[in-house]
Structure 1
């Protein structure tokens, strides 16, 4: 009997999984494989929150395979070496893989293809598994353009593309019995996780999607920026780990219809937009997409301000609330991300890479495409067409947390202060301020804005 290997990476599901479907159609037996990548650990991406969520995902994937007569094979080491070893062990003639977009993923696929070719084994990469639309599937009309650098025209072309239909999960997966596997990781064995970390796995992803479509989607357009309402889908960790297909999410949202569905699908497109940018410019993970020659602030004062930002002690309540939510849940409301990142990069004028690294240390949905390129967008070094805009955290708090409930939840020392005073506690009389264990603002907003604009003008 002929055998194929399916290498799982960021696609930890059974529903709508083109590599698995192709392998099952081509071969009698399939070995579903996940490699705990030592290179990922060395690069600092294997942080506690994502390791715990990953443990849930792998356990759920293995359980799903076992109900279909199969199982998940786990190995640890260098991906190329482990895949090649398993190909020899199983006598596999082909390997199937979801195409990645990061520089590391692209290099891994090249090395894997070369190594498998030397063994007489074919590698098949499948597009639009991690994204709804594959990077490069839509391109600008101009000659020589390999990606869209502006979102709105990308959205228009992306929306015109006929979507791939989501495939059902297979009924049966036959795995060779003599293939050994490591013990799966356990969430309980991971230390240092956020107390409010969500659970992972495809079953949980599908439950959340169904609940979201029935109870959250209709009001999404009106409430997605409401910090206290918590009215976003919270599906981003599942999209990152691939326990939910973005193709299926878009398909089911469109079927539900309405303005909320349009707004939600637009966010899926925004995710794809950054993936196609990174696929074309993998160096943007660490280098400015559009260099502004910024002279980011350094030195002891800057370091202390960055630490206060990380600790949620900037003196600006809505920023501090967002940073404390991040630490507690390993997740942050999208509007909170925008405000917290903008405050670091433009109000404190600290290097966006410092903030991006901190987010990656805690975010369960942290990935190179969305995290790094959203940070660049906020910092004005990415695809934002208004790179010098500066968001005022007080005005943003009043607008998106008008009742102060978001701040009250995450900054409990200010819970007794009603809105709008909770967004400007420094305006209280001195004797009243003394009753709250809350810091004075790190910087004056007017002075900080002038400093940023002067710094950027000087850099250019």
Structure 2
């Protein structure tokens, strides 16, 4: 082939990028393209994306290439650019969310109408979502443990090197990079360069301790790689291949794959109950708003929400506590919480965010749908000295350590901190 357009989406990297690697191998000229959605709201995620695109453009330029930036509808812009350059094909990475699948189907149809080749490639997950099927029948695994066994045995594709050279057509208009109104928190600067550096350091020094330390709320013992996985700045397959002595971490990567295969089979996961159980949700807007502001009067819950508001990220254990409190104690519809997380989390994607929310709510893949997380016991176990709470709820700084999780019992004033929304355990 002479020219191929490579449409980037959730794969903002040059290392282990199957679509880019195939295009560079098969075509004389390759045109990497990213289409910015004008409707994407301002905020840290837009800032993170802008940094990812700047880094990606730099990496491509180092290899003689370029990243074309356009704005609008991805299918229309990809076809327009392909037509301008008389391209023979459009390559892209495959994703599982409803909007992504609709976009992929449209792009395939438009390419067929234009007598252009369309090709989709894996890369968002380690094992492609549709690659594993239960031996007893069914189009996907509904329970994690048998999926984990099958996933662990499945043969992996080869981790691909970054292309040595990317040749673009002469005169290509690169288009301007998006200018973010808000930069992400300093803990999470965007781009493959930052993501790969963080991954190497964490895998070298911390992964062996992950099993014992990943639930420590106050500690810095999780990888914080989830935003880089969400935007494809790092390859999950490459992470797995490098995670020596990291079985517990690899298991979390498998959970990520698990929810992607569930979402491929059930693309309405972001709006419909995966397993309807007749929940009677409460329409309590005041309680939901207090939860969103980190003002429920439950310190461990409020600390988690305030971490999210401040950093665009929340500790994995805090996510479970915060979500369970909303759906099991306040009885608020899981969709309200999932949408709030989706708007605020740098790593929010449909499969993992909504899959986990449904798991907590008892409408998803949990084999124990009535499971309830006791927020007070969780706080005492995973934040025994109240360090995490104190970090994000400064009103409780004067409360003694043995009372920080129950400030309403302390004789010390709590500086305007609210009374609990619900009776505590």
Specify the TM-score bucket, using the shorter chain as the normaliser: over 0.9
Q: What is aligned with 1:104?
A: 99
Alignment of 1:21-420 (within 5 A): 21-38=21-38, 41=39, 46-127=41-122, 129-143=123-137, 145-186=138-179, 189-191=180-182, 195-196=185-186, 198-253=188-243, 256-257=244-245, 261-298=246-283, 302-420=284-402
Cα distance in 1 for residues equivalent to 2:319 and 2:241: 27
Alignment of 1:425-436 (within 5 A): 425-429=407-411, 432=412, 434-436=413-415
Contact 2:396 2:414 in 1 (8 A): no
Which structure features the higher share of helix residues?
A: 1
Cα distance in 2 for residues equivalent to 1:412 and 1:268: 34
Cα distance in 2 for residues equivalent to 1:234 and 1:195: 13
Deviations 1:292-327 (A, max 9, x none): 1211101xxx11111111111111111111010000
CA apart distance, 1:390: 1.1
Unaligned runs of 5+ in 2: none
Cα distance in 1 for residues equivalent to 2:410 and 2:401: 13
Contact 1:392 1:445 in 2 (8 A): no
Moved over 3 A (4+): 193-197
Cα distance in 2 for residues equivalent to 1:408 and 1:71: 47
Measured on the aligned residues, the alpha-carbon RMSD in Å equals 1.3
CA apart distance, 1:122: 0.5
CA apart distance, 1:48: 1.4
Cα gap change, 1:435/1:236 in structure 2, threshold over 3 Å: closer, same or farther?
closer
Q: What is aligned with 1:5?
A: 5
Residue 442 of structure 1 is aligned with which of 401, 421, 424? Answer: 421
CA apart distance, 1:194: 6.0
Contact 2:42 2:181 in 1 (8 A): no
Cα distance in 1 for residues equivalent to 2:278 and 2:218: 37
Q: What is aligned with 1:455?
A: none
Q: What is aligned with 2:19?
A: 19
Residue aligned with 1:420, SS: helix
Count of residue pairs brought into register by the alignment: 425
Contact 2:66 2:168 in 1 (8 A): yes
Query: Normalization by structure 1: what TM-score?
Result: 0.90
Unaligned runs of 5+ in 1: 447-460
Residue aligned with 2:401, SS: coil
Contact 2:395 2:414 in 1 (8 A): no
Q: What is aligned with 1:453?
A: none
Residue aligned with 1:34, SS: strand
Cα distance in 2 for residues equivalent to 1:111 and 1:362: 29
